[in-house]
Amino acid sequence: MRSDPFKPALYNSRIIDTYLRLIKKKYSYVNIGDLLRSAKMEPYEVADQGHWFNQEQVDLFYERLVKVTGNEQIAREAGRFAAAPDSISVLRQYVLGLGNPAKAYELIGKTSQNFTRSSRYESRRLASNKIEIIVTPEKGVCEKSFQCENRIGFLEAVATVFNNKLLRVEHPECLFRDGSSCRYIISWEKTPYMYWKKARNYGIILVLALVGASFFLNGWVALLAVVPTFVSFVLLACLVAASIEKKELMTGIENLRESTDKLLEQINLNYTNALLTNEIGQAVSKQVDVAAILRNVFQVLQKRLDYDRGMILLADKEKTRLLFSAGFGYSVEQQNLLQKTSFHLDRPESKGIFVISFREQKPFLVNDFDDIKTNLSSHSLTFAKMLGAQSFIVCPIVCDGESVGILAVDNVVTKKPLIQSNMSLLMGTATVIGISIRNAMLNEAREHQFSSTLQVLAASIDARDNLTAGHAEKVTKYALGICQELGLTKDYTEMIRVASLLHDYGKIGIPDAILKKEGRLTVDEYTQVKSHAEKTREILEQINFEGIYRQVPEVAGSHHEKIDGSGYPRGLRGSEIPFGAKIIAVADFFEAITAKRHYRGPMPLALAIKLLEERSGAHFEKKVVRAFIRYLEQDSKLLEELNAQKQVRELHHRRVPCRTSVSFRVNGRTVSGISTDISTRGMFVAIDDDFEEGSPIELTFSLPNSQSVKIQATGRVAWVNNNRRRLKPVFPTGVGVEFLDIVPTDEMLQSYVGAYAS
């Protein structure tokens, strides 16, 4: 029996589950999580009745269990517990339906494969009240003595299901006494029916013997005197035996019928439980945050379970307090009480049922609050009275052997009593909730870490210059406001958030001398600044963005593209530009012109909005601009902040958009162009002709708001923007004109500029 190599013995998880139920009932101080971990077992493996454990795991489990309980006979005790009436519940009804212990013991031999794949069971009836069971391990399998003790305890207890007094379990042959198998002989007292049946049979035999003897001996007189007495006895025995047999049969039939009803009830309960587990699994599988998980779980619990109220308390990060996280069925006042109440986990003197359930990972079923109130602290007692609790179930929410919270339900309106199956179902539900909450917490931690990393990356650019500090955060805020107004999905909005934070990351490759330059940029300097968009895309493509974040590099690197194709770095047009980049473009442009920079002050709010509207359709997507303006109009606090910004430029320094035809004479020639902006001191005109700085000039133009009035002005060419000298790279080819005199008056011009900038 000890040949090598040994075959791995496999044992169904129901065996371990029996031990755990015994521990919870009699050895509640044992930490089940530690016990399972020491045996390399997981709680979900024990809960799965289709799971099989190997011999090493079972050995480790038993050795640890004996050590923590101090009971070397716990295997035999677990065997008795496995067959105890209050342990096998519905199975007990089925066994009773078999009618007698003999059939029940015979059944063990037929169903042993449900519990072990390493041993073969054979059962043989020796008498009406005696059964022989032989257990033979498969070849090469090595068993342990405690498993033999466990079987004896189980066999001892089966007869008690029938209320039969067990005489003895003999164990004449044992593997651990050099036997080839374990042989058990189980005998029990006979029932009254057996005795009356035997008396009836003997009586009939005796009567037949007397009749035969009288026939051969001619003793008819004696026969007539004796036979009636024996016949009466036989008839009485038959009647009593028949009555007892009928009673036992009726009991068996009633037990069978009851077991059928119980089995159907259990099937319905299992079906409901399966639906509940499935619905909870579906409800939490698509959620990534704890609040959504709890909300969906309670929706399922309210639908599937008949409880008036329910709540979940979760431990804080430091595991010092239990805090209310979600609930249903409570009044507004009770909700307020729950949100204000916490239960201390870091105080050894705390002995509330919630705290004990959390610490010991032990469920409680209380059908009468008065039974436990003497064990509660004054804080817990006051809390329970204010909630009106009477009967309730408390289950620990456990994941990976660690408590994360508790689930509690109760009935205060229906007064429906709570039963063990309710608690078992909730324990299974709590396990699913625990796994989901732990996964959500891990996901939230990863998201927080990811978000923190993004913030640091964005801040690393802002930190190079105090004037641009906070630019990325403000652009992100504006971009998210646009997404909200457009009703974009949560995932797409999240992608925009990340792309907005990192949209200028390419500036890390631009020298400080250029980024912080207070004067005008040269053509080469401006070209370097523009390269930041392409650098942003190239750098971000080195990050492994997955899922909803895949578009981040492309969107962030395209935020300077324009609808008409005049943008950079690739000159994309219209639909070629990612929609997310169009959103960031509007947000970035608005933040840039309303913020102070080294080379200018912040633009007034009204002027910034008008500039956005003017460039809508040419540079920016129209619906994005409209959405942004709606967002601004609805955020009164933001409008106040923008309006409160200190304006550093006087009215006559302000330049406002002004697109109008301009005709002018210079050096005896008459030419025409299109103005882009204007101030009370001058204007810029886009034109391809070359002019010398300082040249006198005469202009004729009309303002956009009064085309019928022609304004004539004299002035000079103040500066030139051409291929030889490009003072303002962002401006097209043209000239800057300084006004010297305006006819009929400059009041019209001041009015236009003032109205536009106000």
In tens, the pLDDT along 269-281 reads 667 667 766 777 7
Q: Which pLDDT score is estimated for 141?
A: 59
Residue 406, H or E segment:
strand 402-411
Is residue 651 scored above 50 in pLDDT?
no
- What's the confidence (pLDDT) of residue 105? 73
Question: What number of H helices and E strands is found in the chain?
Answer: 26, 19
Rounded distance between C-alpha atoms, residue 531 and residue 597, angstroms: 20
Beta bridge partners of 1: none
> How far is it, in rounded angstroms, from Cα 337 to Cα 614?
56
Assigned token pair, 224? 């007539």
Decide which of 51 and 549 is more confident. Answer: 549
Q: What is the Cα Rg of the chain in Å?
A: 45
pLDDT bin (cut points 50, 70, 90) of residue 516 is confident
176: which residues sit within 8 A by CB, 6+ positions away? 145, 148
DSSP string, 521-577: PPHHHHHHHHHHHHHHHHHHTTS---GGGTTHHHHHTTTT--TTS--SSS---GGGS
Which pLDDT does position 630 carry in this prediction?
Answer: 93
Q: pLDDT-derived band of residue 5, with 50, 70 and 90 as boundaries?
A: very low
Residue 232 burial (CB < 10 Å; 0-12/13-18/19+)? Answer: exposed
pLDDT tens digit string along 432-461?
788 878 887 787 778 777 877 777 877 777
Residue 555 pLDDT more than 90? Answer: yes
Q: What's the CA gap between 715 and 78, in Å, rounded?
A: 107
Highest mean pLDDT among 60-69, 296-305, 567-576, 746-755: 567-576
How confident is the model at residue 587, as a pLDDT? 94
- Give every CB contact of residue 101 below 8 A, 6+ residues apart in sequence: 129, 131, 158, 159, 161, 162, 164, 186, 188
Residue 126 has pLDDT above 50, yes or no: yes
Question: Averaging pLDDT over each range in 170-174, 469-473, 481-485, which range is the top one?
Answer: 481-485
How does residue 496 score in pLDDT terms, banded at 50, 70 and 90?
Answer: very high
Residues 698-712: what's their mean pLDDT?
83
- Residues 477-504, mean pLDDT to the nearest whole number: 93
653 pLDDT tier (thresholds 50, 70, 90): low
Structure tokens at 564: 């008409």
Q: Is the pLDDT of residue 24 over 90?
A: no
Over residues 321-340, the pLDDT tens digits come to 899 888 888 888 888 888 88
CA angle 670, 676, 680 (to 5 degrees): 85
Please state, in angstroms and rounded to a whole number, the distance separating the CA atoms of residues 143 and 718: 103
Tell me which of 326-340, 522-536, 738-752 is least confident: 738-752
Q: Is the predicted pLDDT of residue 574 greater than 60, yes or no?
A: yes
Q: pLDDT at position 332, please?
A: 86
Higher local confidence (pLDDT), 653 or 495: 495
Residue 449, pLDDT score? 79
Residue 382 has pLDDT above 80, yes or no: no
How far apart CA 237 and CA 207 sit, in angstroms, is 13
Q: Examine the pLDDT at 736 and tell me if it is beyond 80.
A: yes
What is the pLDDT, as a whole number, of residue 90? 45
Please give the average per-residue pLDDT across 152-156, as a whole number.
76
> For the segment 211-262, what is each residue's pLDDT rounded down to a tens digit?
666 655 555 555 555 556 666 666 666 766 677 666 766 665 665 566 566 6
CA distances from 567 to 35, 503, 620 (A): 67, 15, 10
Least-confidence region, from 161-165, 169-173, 207-211, 350-354: 161-165
Residue of 530 and 444 predicted with greater confidence: 530
Q: State the average pLDDT for the chain.
A: 77
Question: Contact at 8 Å (CB) between 119 and 138?
Answer: yes
User: Mean pLDDT lowest for which of 25-29, 160-164, 472-476?
Assistant: 160-164
Q: CA angle, corner 361, sides to 51 and 381, nearest 5? A: 150
CB 468 within 8 A of CB 512: no
Burial (CB count <10 Å: 0-12, 13-18, 19+), residue 178: exposed
Residue 518 has pLDDT above 80, yes or no: no
State the pLDDT at residue 255: 56
- The answer, yes or no, to whether residue 136 has pLDDT greater than 70, is yes
Regarding predicted confidence, which is higher, 140 or 413?
Answer: 413
In sequence order, what are the beta bridge partners of 11?
Answer: 53, 116
What mean pLDDT do residues 50-58 have? Answer: 79
Q: Which of 121-135, 238-252, 697-711 has the lowest mean pLDDT?
A: 238-252
Instruction: List pLDDT tens digits, range 294-307.
Output: 777 777 777 767 77
Please state the three-class secondary structure of 423-483 as a single string: HHHHHHHHHHHHHHHHHHHHHHHHHHHHHHHHHHHHHHHHCCCHHHCCHHHHHHHHHHHHH
What does the pLDDT read at residue 7?
A: 46
pLDDT at 647: 47
What is the percent of the chain with per-residue pLDDT over 90, rounded to a whole number? Answer: 10
Euclidean distance between CA atoms 475 and 334, whole angstroms: 43
What pLDDT is recorded for position 251? 61
**Residue 663 forms beta bridges with which residues?**
672, 700
- Residue 283: predicted pLDDT: 65
